[in-house]
Structure 1
C-alpha cells in the first residue's frame, strides 16, 4: 500500500478492508501498527470504517451493484449545517471506496459527514433530511445516508430529533448497539465498557444488540434503558421525569442513575474544559452513584460524590484531581 498520495481517511478505509478480509501478513501488521502510532485519531477512523464495512446493508448494496454493473460514485456532500461547520468525511479509495461511497443503482448516493463536539461545548446541526442533532462535548457522529437508510455512528452522547421518512429508517450505531427511531426524539449515551443508555422523549425506538441481533427492545416515550455488557434481555428500564423535554445534559445537569464513577468523570469532562480527574486506585472507578449534579462546578461535584462514597478527594503533583480511599 502506498500512502503518499492518499488521505488519512482513505488509508483508514483500506486498512479496515484488508483487516476485515484477514489478509494482513506479519509485515503488513507491523506497517498497520506504525500507521496507527502516527496519530491518536487513526484508531477511531479504523474502527469506524470497520463497522461500516461490516454493516449488513452494505453487503446488500454491494450485491445490487454487482448484479446491475453499477459504478461507484465519488463522495457527495448533503448535510447543511445551520449554523455550525461540518468536517468532511473524506473520499475513500480502492476496494473500500466501492464499499463506503457507492450508490444503490438508480436510487441515489451514500452521503458521509462528520460532526465533532469539543470539550465544554455542545454542537447543534441539522441533517439534509430535516433531522436535528445536538452533540455533547467530546463526542462525535459520522453519517452514512443513502436511498434506503439513514445511519449515524456515534461516539459519546447525542440527542436526536428525527424527521419521519418511512422509506429510510434512521439508526444510531454505538460500538455495541443499534437504536432505530420510529419517528421520535431520543438521547443515546455511550458509556464505558460498551454500556449504553437510551432515553426516549417522544415516539418510540427499537434497541438491538449488535452481537446478539435476536435481542431487541422497543421503548416508548418516557422510558430510559441502561444496557451493560451488551446483555439486552436483563437490562433495566426506568421512567423519565414527566416534565422532561430535553436531556439533562443540554441544561447543564447530570442525571446519574446507578452510574459508575468512571462514567461520571466522563460526563463531567465532556462539559468542563480543562477539568482533569482520575482515580488513585482503578478499582474505585467501578463504584456506582445515583443523584442529580450540576456540571458547572465539577470539583464540587466530585467532593460531594467522594463524601457520599466514604472516599477522599485530593490533587496530585500535576494538579489533577484524584479520588482516593
Structure 2
C-alpha cells in the first residue's frame, strides 16, 4: 500500500498532537499493511529532525527505553477518554522517535481490549468451489459473469457477484443422476439458484449436493454445514433436505438449517410455511410453524419458539447473538474469520450482540468486549479469551 497525501497528513497530525481517535486508527491500520520501504520514506524526514535534536545526547538511550512507558500512558489516556487521543506537549520530541520506532518495529495498534493489535484479520467473502457431475472442479471466485457449462439440458451460469444459477434449456428425461456439489471454505459464503427456482445461501464451511435438475417425485438435496433455503412451491414434488441425522420435508417455505459435523446439535428455524422434521436415528418427527425452531441434541428432538430472524441473520450479513453461549459465538467467528480459538480459555458467558459481518475481526472483538466485559488476545489467527 503506497503512501498517499492523506497518509502523510495523518502522520503529521499524529506528530503534532492533533490526531483524533478515528484518524489514529486509520494511520495505524496503514502501518500494519504498508511495505517497509514505504514506511522508511514516510518517517525519514522526521527521524532526521529528531537526530539533529538529540545528536550527541548521551541520554538518548534512556529516552528510547522510556518509549514503552509513554505508550502505556497514552493507552491509559485513551481508555479514560475514548473519543480522542491526546498526548502531552512535553513528549513532542520524544513522540517523533516513538512513532517512528513503532513503525519500524511493526508494533501495531495498542487498543482498548488488546495489548497488541497485529495485522487485522479481514472478514470472509464470496468463495466457493463447484464440482460438476463429471468430477471437474471450478473455483467460482475466479470466474466473471459467464456461462459455465451445459449438462444434459441444464445451463449453469455464474452471475456477477456471488451466485450460480441452474436453468433448463432443453427438456430431458434424466437429470437427477447428474449430481453437483458446491462447497464454501471457511471464510466463504455463496448463493445457488436451483432449476426449480429454489434459492439457497451457503454459509462458510458448508457443502450442498444436489441434482442438476429435478424430475422425480421428490426434490432431494444433501447439506453439510449451514444454509438458508427459500424453496419454490410445488405441491406435487416435496423438497427434502438431508443434513446429518435430520431430514426436512417441505412444499414451499423459508428456513435455516445448521448441521455442522463438528457441532453436537442440528438446528432448523422456520421463517415461513411449514416443515416436517424427522430424526432418522430415532424415527421421531415434529411439525414446525413460523417462529419455531427444531433442535436435535443428546438423542432428542425438540422444538421451541425463537426469534428465527436472528438465526438466519447471517445470510443478510449480520451476526445476531441473542443470549448465545460464548463458546458458540467463538465457533461462528472461527468459521467466518478462519480462526484457531483456544476453547479451554472460554468462560461460561452469554452474549447479546448484533454485528455486521463485514467488520474486521478486531472491531468485532471490541464489540464483544464491551458487551461481555472480557478481553481477547490475538496471536496470528489464534484467539484466546481473557477474563
Pair 1:141 & 2:211 matched: no
Task: Please report how far the alpha carbon of residue 170 of structure 1 lies from its aligned counterpart in structure 2 after TM superposition.
Answer: 1.0
Give the alignment of 1:228-267 within 5 angstroms: 228-233=297-302, 235-240=303-308, 247-267=312-332
Instruction: Indicate the SS of the match to 2:363.
Output: helix
Instruction: Indicate the SS of the match to 1:254.
Output: strand
Task: Please report how far the alpha carbon of residue 132 of structure 1 lies from its aligned counterpart in structure 2 after TM superposition.
Answer: 1.6
Instruction: Indicate the SS of the match to 1:300.
Output: helix
CA distance in 2, matches of 1:147, 1:164: 15
Task: Please report how far the alpha carbon of residue 147 of structure 1 lies from its aligned counterpart in structure 2 after TM superposition.
Answer: 0.9
Give the alignment of 1:68-217 within 5 angstroms: 78=154, 80-83=156-159, 84=163, 109-144=176-211, 147-191=216-260, 192-213=262-283, 215-217=284-286
TM-score when normalising by structure 2: 0.49
Aligned to 2:362: 299
Relative to 1, partners in 2 of residues 1:176 and 1:228: Cα closer, same or farther, differing over 3 Å? same
Task: Please report how far the alpha carbon of residue 82 of structure 1 lies from its aligned counterpart in structure 2 after TM superposition.
Answer: 5.0
Structure 1: 5+ residue runs without aligned partners? 1-74, 87-105
Larger Rg: 2
Task: Please report how far the alpha carbon of residue 141 of structure 1 lies from its aligned counterpart in structure 2 after TM superposition.
Answer: 0.6
Task: Please report how far the alpha carbon of residue 319 of structure 1 lies from its aligned counterpart in structure 2 after TM superposition.
Answer: 5.0
Relative to 1, partners in 2 of residues 1:154 and 1:321: Cα closer, same or farther, differing over 3 Å? same
Instruction: Indicate the SS of the match to 2:233.
Output: coil
User: CA offsets per residue over residues 114-167 of structure 1, 9 Å max, x none?
Assistant: 112244442112111221211122221112555122222112211111122233
Relative to 1, partners in 2 of residues 1:193 and 1:207: Cα closer, same or farther, differing over 3 Å? same
CA distance in 1, matches of 2:152, 2:282: 33
Preserved contact between residue 116 and residue 139 of structure 1 (Cα < 8 Å): yes
Preserved contact between residue 276 and residue 288 of structure 2 (Cα < 8 Å): yes
Paired positions, count: 224
CA distance in 1, matches of 2:347, 2:250: 33
Preserved contact between residue 352 and residue 371 of structure 2 (Cα < 8 Å): no
Aligned to 1:321: 383
CA distance in 2, matches of 1:257, 1:267: 13
TM-score when normalising by structure 1: 0.58
Relative to 1, partners in 2 of residues 1:126 and 1:280: Cα closer, same or farther, differing over 3 Å? closer
CA RMSD, 1 decimal: 3.4
CA distance in 2, matches of 1:123, 1:252: 12
Relative to 1, partners in 2 of residues 1:184 and 1:314: Cα closer, same or farther, differing over 3 Å? same
CA distance in 2, matches of 1:111, 1:285: 47
